[in-house]
A = this chain, B = another copy of it.
Amino acid sequence: MSPAKLPPTAKTQPPIRHERRKDARPGELLAAALDLFVEKGFAATRAEEVARRAGVSKGTLFLYFASKEELFKAVVRENISGGFSQWNAQFDAFDGSTPDMLRHCMALWWQRQGNAKVSGITKLMLGEGKNFPELALFYQQEVIQPAHLLIRRILQRGVDRGEFAPLDMKYAVFTVLAPMIFLQLLVHSNNACYDPAEATELVPEEYLASQLQILLAGLCLRPATPVTNKGNHCL
């Protein structure tokens, strides 16, 4: 998110901004890595190409990141997990209704994450997670869990404030997450799902809005188990 969170030093720099700052290196590498990981996946991305795209040599990459896996982790931290404290801060500061909060979060998420290159990381982990257990574990801890927690907090807030019916949390969290994940997949897989010819025109914002509406219809007020979709006549 913020491109100002660089691992190494971050001292006051000469104001000459047109000069390639040495301290910008890791940032450039992370940007290049994000591009390529999203484009080709983890295994198929070659370290050398990341370096080249960042304008440095192969050796330099390994100067900043101990391995390709560490590079990936840094990309995830920089672009995803780093944002959760902000998300949580906004949660604490928000004082509207919980349905509004959900709508707001979803919209924000789409702007910041879903609609950005980062969302390719989700697809990547889905596809390659099993092959790189260490990365999968890391992603679990750094992304999945915080995300689940955050969603859980939001939903719990709704329950606590009497806005939502009591929920089977495991299920409910997932129901919120599902359309988000799906949307990311869509955005990054046009070639595999559609004829380029009839390239789809699904409007993500509308898709999200409609999904939320279903969701909220299920969550709000009514008791029982709407989220689990059992006997959910409204849907």
Cα distance A129–B39 in the bound complex, in angstroms? 10
Which of A3-11, A18-26, A105-113 participates in binding chain B?
Answer: A3-11
Q: Mark A90-128, 1 if CB is under 8 A from B, else 0.
A: 000000000000000000000000000000000111111
User: Which positions 118-170 of chain A face chain B at CB distance < 8 Å?
Assistant: 123-136, 139-140, 144-145, 148, 170
Number of copies: 4
Kindly list chain B residues whose C-beta atoms are within 8 Å of the C-beta of A4.
131-134
Contact of A144 among B44, B195, B235 (CB under 8 A): B195
B194 and A210 contact, CB distance less than 8 A: no
B132 and A6 contact, CB distance less than 8 A: yes
Judge if A89 is at the interface, Cβ distance under 8 Å: no
Which of A27-35, A75-83, A197-205 participates in binding chain B?
Answer: A197-205
Judge if A232 is at the interface, Cβ distance under 8 Å: yes
Judge if A214 is at the interface, Cβ distance under 8 Å: yes
B192 and A126 contact, CB distance less than 8 A: yes
A145 and B195 contact, CB distance less than 8 A: yes
A187 to chain B, nearest CB (A): 11
Kindly list chain B residues whose C-beta atoms are within 8 Å of the C-beta of A182.
178, 181-182, 185
Cα distance A201–B206 in the bound complex, in angstroms? 28
Tell whether A128 pairs with B2 under 8 Å between CB atoms, given A178-B182, A202-B174, A214-B214: no
A124 and B127 contact, CB distance less than 8 A: yes
Cα distance A206–B139 in the bound complex, in angstroms? 29
Cα distance A123–B182 in the bound complex, in angstroms? 12
Kindly list chain B residues whose C-beta atoms are within 8 Å of the C-beta of A191.
129-130, 136, 140
Going nearest first, the 5 A-B pairs with the smallest beta carbon separation are: A127-B127, A2-B134, A129-B192, A210-B229, A125-B192
Tell whether A43 pairs with B8 under 8 Å between CB atoms, given A144-B192, A191-B136, A213-B235: yes
